Amino acid sequence: MDGTFEYLSKTMNDREGEAELDCMHVIWGEYGHILSWAFGENESDECYQRLLYFLRQRCERLGLEHVQAVKAAYSDTCCQGLKDPTTHWITQVFPNVPRAPYRDNFHAMKKVTDATQPHHELKLPFTQYMKGAFTHYDEQSKNHVAGLYMKKCKHTVSHEVAKEQMLKRKEYVKKVKKLNPDKAVIKQRVEEAWTKISLEDQGLKARAELNGEGYLPFILSAKKGVRLGTRKEIDNLLVHIEKGCCDNPFDLDGMNVALDPDDEYPDYQRKQGTLQGESTNRQFNRMTDDVGRQSAETADKRMWLRVSRFNQSKDQILQKVLKLTKVRTVEWYLHEALLKENSALSLYHGYDFPPELPEGYFEPIGVEYGWYSDWSRVEIEINRWMELSACEGSADPFDPANTVAQVGPGAAEVFQEAAQDLRELAALNSVGPTPGIPAVSSTA
């Protein structure tokens, strides 16, 4: 889960909705498909709870096993400062998620590196030190890929040299399985990175003073009301590491997906949270590089086109992993040129634009999130999930057995009516995957 603000910074508010369009929220699936996205006011828990509510309903339409298949989540805020990460609200929305979202390595390091002097000569080496703290290549996998490197290398090299040199080549690195080290190892390496960069910073300062020159220290001290300081950010990171926010949710094979299982030396796609999301956000933001202002409707159409193409490209990359006999193709590709002219977007009335949903089913995606008005019903059901852990009995999230005790007699009637509606929607499983819901057939 992640949000980006730049794309909507050039988008006018929607005339049909009351919300300020400030943040675009995106939810990615296990293999990187975009599952849901919405134009919202801010990056708040409430918005993500609502999006995950509808995503859970979508999973239930396909079968409750798809709800149970959700085992972990990633976000840039991870446990949000909770002392006990297992009490995070997401554990109630998806029952098989045991704890708060994990924090990916990119955001874990960024909080620290951003707390240093910008544009400093020590910025790059410190980033490399921090990156090394979170990097652990599987030894068996390294030995295996080193054999390939030795075969293709023009010069004769030893096995140990091959293992070292291949990690500097992108085409070989992506063939090596990787995990985050144990938390004790990460903490030790972070402290070593701090010690090393502190000595280098002091050395540069001493040299500048010796030469009678001014020097801006790389390490920033705390400044009340302005910044926490570099050391404080490292201390905060160490707390998150200790709480398990940087652990691996799955084992080595679970975190590394071979794109071609039949290849002796396959490339691997790593399940590493929102790092790939940041790359996707940059792609979204580039769509408005040549745009002064755009309407909410145009922004919505642009996103539908881009998301559909993005998910198609994911299907092509993962065709053998997902065992797709034929990669899903729609007419988005033929109309990609329409993105170059704002006015041309309104002229397109293709069969799948916007995609049609099954009768009686509505999921607010994109600009439609701001149109949705029946949030009171949604909030009742979300609150029901939040309190579900205190109930015993049926695993059915819409079982009204404990409703009166949990949400009160007045809300119980409303809840039971809503539950019946949702059960009827769940019966639409025979409709199958919907083109308007990206990548559901590939990853729930």
For residue 119, being part of any structural domain is answered with: yes
| 296, 434: one domain | yes
| 309, 366: one domain | yes
* Contact by Cβ (8 Å): 282, 191: no
For residue 275, being part of any structural domain is answered with: no
Q: How many angstroms separate the CA atoms of 317 and 324, rounded?
A: 11
For residue 268, being part of any structural domain is answered with: no
For residue 122, being part of any structural domain is answered with: yes
Q: How many angstroms separate the CA atoms of 301 and 307, rounded?
A: 10
Q: Which domain holds residue 335?
A: 1-102+283-444
- Cβ-based neighbours of 262, under 8 Å, separated by 6 or more: 320
**The domain boundary residue, chosen from 242, 273, 296:** 242
99-103, 141-145, 308-312, 405-409: range with lowest mean pLDDT: 405-409
* Token pair in block for residue 348: 């397109």
**The domain boundary residue, chosen from 222, 242, 262:** 242
Nearest to 122 by CA among 194, 210, 227: 194
| 91, 186: one domain | no
Q: For residue range 327-372, what is the model confidence (pLDDT) as tens digits? A: 655 544 444 444 444 444 444 444 444 445 556 667 777 877 877 7
What pLDDT does 22 receive?
Answer: 81
Average pLDDT over residues 367-378: 78
Residues 427-432: contacts with CB under 8 Å, at least 24 apart: 428/61, 428/358, 428/360, 428/361, 429/61, 429/62, 429/63, 431/61, 431/358
| 416, 434: one domain | yes
Q: For residue range 276-317, what is the model confidence (pLDDT) as tens digits? A: 677 787 888 788 777 788 888 888 888 887 887 788 888 888
Residues 308-314: contacts with CB under 8 Å, at least 24 apart: 308/332, 308/438, 309/333, 309/336, 310/34, 310/280, 310/283, 311/33, 311/34, 311/438, 311/439, 311/442, 314/31, 314/32, 314/33, 314/439, 314/442
What band does 319 get if pLDDT is binned at 50, 70 and 90?
A: confident
What pLDDT does 305 receive?
Answer: 77
| 28, 70: one domain | yes
| 413, 387: one domain | yes
Q: How many domains does the chain have?
A: 2
What pLDDT does 437 receive?
Answer: 32
Residue 15 scores a pLDDT above 90: no
**The domain boundary residue, chosen from 242, 275, 303:** 242
Give the residue ranges of DSSP H helices in 153-215: 159-166, 170-173, 183-210
| 382, 359: one domain | yes
- What strand order describes the sheet that includes 2-4? 2-4, 23-28, 34-40
| 162, 296: one domain | no
| 131, 30: one domain | no
Q: How many angstroms separate the CA atoms of 157 and 150, rounded?
A: 7
- Cβ-based neighbours of 174, under 8 Å, separated by 6 or more: 267, 268
For residue 356, being part of any structural domain is answered with: yes
Nearest to 55 by CA among 441, 442, 344, 437: 437
